[in-house]
Chains A and B, each alone.
Chain A
Amino acid sequence: AQSVSQHNHHVILSEAASLELGCNYSYGGTVNLFWYVQYPGQHLQLLLKYFSGDPLVKGIKGFEAEFIKSKFSFNLRKPSVQWSDTAEYFCAVNRLSGGYNKLIFGAGTRLAVHP
């Protein structure tokens, strides 16, 4: 069965530290990959996405992610986190099937950034 694994459930960092959140998926076909963020009390927002082309994708708020096909990975990075990055981060894989797409989410990583 297709699955998405996020290795870190809880991450605690100080401001200005670098961030890397791991994401691996288990599907061999064509996939679209996403990172969503959910700030406390807010709705899911798209951080970045990968469909094809350059495997290094840049998103909003200084985030980037690298798609490594051979490792089935799509890790999220940010060189210097801010307190406002405190949120839940979800990796998701999209399968195209028929006239719809189906998103499968990882379990999420809760990031806490301390001033």
Chain B
Amino acid sequence: DTEVTQTPKHLVMGMTNKKSLKCEQHMGHRAMYWYKQKAKKPPELMFVYSYEKLSINESVPSRFSPECPNSSLLNLHLHALQPEDSALYLCASSSPRGTWGTRPSSYEQYFGPGTRLTVT
């Protein structure tokens, strides 16, 4: 199973709302990522979790709050967003250094389908 799932597929929220995006993978990957992709642009890294710990925060505003409850789940909590935050939010996972005791076979990231977020 090489699938990363994301819910919801679409989300419309007001600037005062609080919502959460969810991401799940069952590939045993221990690194998970959030990206933001604006139309006709490449994905931009937001956060990296490695072994359930936040490893990278690419200077993302605090209105975005990531959470990694366990090795299979990644959440992105949203609060007081701005219209310019409207975008496709992508989750990805990868094997950071390979699974325990085995030589890593690859480091590619597997992407989910994304959540298309519209902030009104």
Measured CB to CB, the residues of A under 8 A from B are 32, 34, 36, 42-46, 49, 51, 88, 90, 94, 96, 98-108, 110
Any chain A CB within 8 A of the CB of B1?
no
Query: A23 vs B43: C-alpha distance in the bound complex, in angstroms?
Result: 16
Q: Count of B residues near A, CB < 8 Å?
A: 28
Segment 31-90 of B: residues with Cβ below 8 Å from A: 31, 33, 40-45, 48, 50-51, 55-56, 90
Any chain A CB within 8 A of the CB of B25?
no
- Distance in Å from the Cβ of A4 to the closest Cβ of chain B? 9
Number of A-B residue pairs at CB separation under 8 A: 65
- Extra inter-chain contacts (12) besides given A44-B43, A99-B51, A104-B45, CB under 8 Å: A43-B111, A43-B113, A49-B106, A94-B107, A96-B107, A100-B50, A100-B55, A101-B107, A102-B45, A102-B56, A107-B42, A108-B41
Query: A30 vs B20: C-alpha distance in the bound complex, in angstroms?
Result: 37
Query: A6 vs B92: C-alpha distance in the bound complex, in angstroms?
Result: 22
Query: A44 vs B107: C-alpha distance in the bound complex, in angstroms?
Result: 15
CB < 8 Å: which of A32, A102, A105 contacts B42? A105
Known contacts A99-B31, A100-B48, A100-B56; A51 and B106 CB within 8 A of each other: yes
Nearest opposing residue in chain B for A105, CB measure:
B42
Nearest opposing residue in chain A for B2, CB measure:
A46
Nearest opposing residue in chain B for A104, CB measure:
B45
A-B residue pairs in contact (CB < 8 Å), sample of 19: A42-B113, A43-B90, A43-B112, A44-B90, A46-B108, A46-B110, A49-B106, A49-B108, A88-B40, A98-B50, A99-B50, A99-B97, A100-B31, A100-B55, A102-B45, A103-B45, A104-B45, A108-B41, A108-B42
- Distance in Å from the Cβ of A64 to the closest Cβ of chain B? 17
- Distance in Å from the Cβ of A44 to the closest Cβ of chain B? 4
Query: A46 vs B111: C-alpha distance in the bound complex, in angstroms?
Result: 9
B41 contacts A43, C-beta separation under 8 Å = no
Query: A51 vs B30: C-alpha distance in the bound complex, in angstroms?
Result: 20
Nearest opposing residue in chain A for B43, CB measure:
A105
Nearest opposing residue in chain B for A36, CB measure:
B111
